[in-house]
Chain A
Amino acid sequence: GAVVSQHPSWVICKSGTSVKIECRSLDFQATTMFWYRQFPKQSLMLMATSNEGSKATYEQGVEKDKFLINHASLTLSTLTVTSAHPEDSSFYICSCGSGGYNEQFFGPGTRLTVL
């Protein structure tokens, strides 16, 4: 399957700061990228779907002004957690697809800890 990377793999930040997480598809062009959030011992929850060159579609309950998503190219999407708070601490996972929801390719995840 396709290779997807995320950077950083983990980050610790102070409350009130912003954190940017990168998601890259290394060997194919991803027209669609997805961002998920995973709490300990819980499911992955879809946060938003982004298509290259257009605005992201956010799931209900996800604040688009807090979780900024940019999908500027077919190989890179970024998630910026603005003014992070301790409750934003979580495992963030991206995935890439060639279109639709069939067989997404997932990144290794980024663990965010907000102090």
Chain B
Amino acid sequence: AQSVAQPEDQVNVAEGNPLTVKCTYSVSGNPYLFWYVQYPNRGLQFLLKYITGDNLVKGSYGFEAEFNKSQTSFHLKKPSALVSDSALYFCAVEANKLIFGSGTRLLVRP
């Protein structure tokens, strides 16, 4: 079955430190991969996507993600976290439809 896994319900990091939010997927073929962020009472906002090409994708707000085909992972990263990055992050895979992970809550403490 096609699925997306975000193994961490919550990630805590201090402001200024690097952050990683993990995502692995189980989808046949070469899917498109996405990261979205959801702030309270707001819709999902697109951060970045991987279609093909360079495995390191740069997106909005200083976020980037690294596609690793052998590990079927697409981890979200940021070199220096901000308190304003605190939100709910969703990884998604397009495989005829968007399949979302369960979400990871990022908490950046001052």
Residues of chain B at the chain A interface (Cβ within 8 Å) = 4, 9, 32, 34, 36, 41-46, 49, 90, 94, 96-103
For A49, list chain B residues within 8 Å (CB). 97
Compute the total of residue contacts between A and B using a CB distance below 8 Å: 55
In the complex, are the beta carbons of B43 and A9 less than 8 A apart?
no
From A34, A45, A103, A106, B43 is in contact (CB under 8 Å) with: A106
State A49–B94 Cα separation when bound (angstroms). Answer: 14
For B41, list chain A residues within 8 Å (CB). 9, 108-109
What is the chain A residue whose CB lies nearest that of B42?
A108
A-B contacts, 6 of them at CB < 8 A, read A93-B44, A95-B43, A102-B94, A103-B46, A106-B36, A108-B41
State A102–B51 Cα separation when bound (angstroms). Answer: 9
For B45, list chain A residues within 8 Å (CB). 1, 106
CB distance from A36 to the nearest CB of B (A): 8
**Do A44 and B97 contact each other (CB < 8 Å), given the known contacts A1-B45, A4-B43, A108-B43?**
no
In the complex, are the beta carbons of B102 and A43 less than 8 A apart?
yes
From B43, B49, B90, B99, A109 is in contact (CB under 8 Å) with: B43
What is the chain A residue whose CB lies nearest that of B97?
A46
In the complex, are the beta carbons of B102 and A42 less than 8 A apart?
yes
State A44–B103 Cα separation when bound (angstroms). Answer: 9
State A105–B42 Cα separation when bound (angstroms). Answer: 12
CB distance from B51 to the nearest CB of A (A): 8
For A46, list chain B residues within 8 Å (CB). 97-98
CB distance from B72 to the nearest CB of A (A): 17
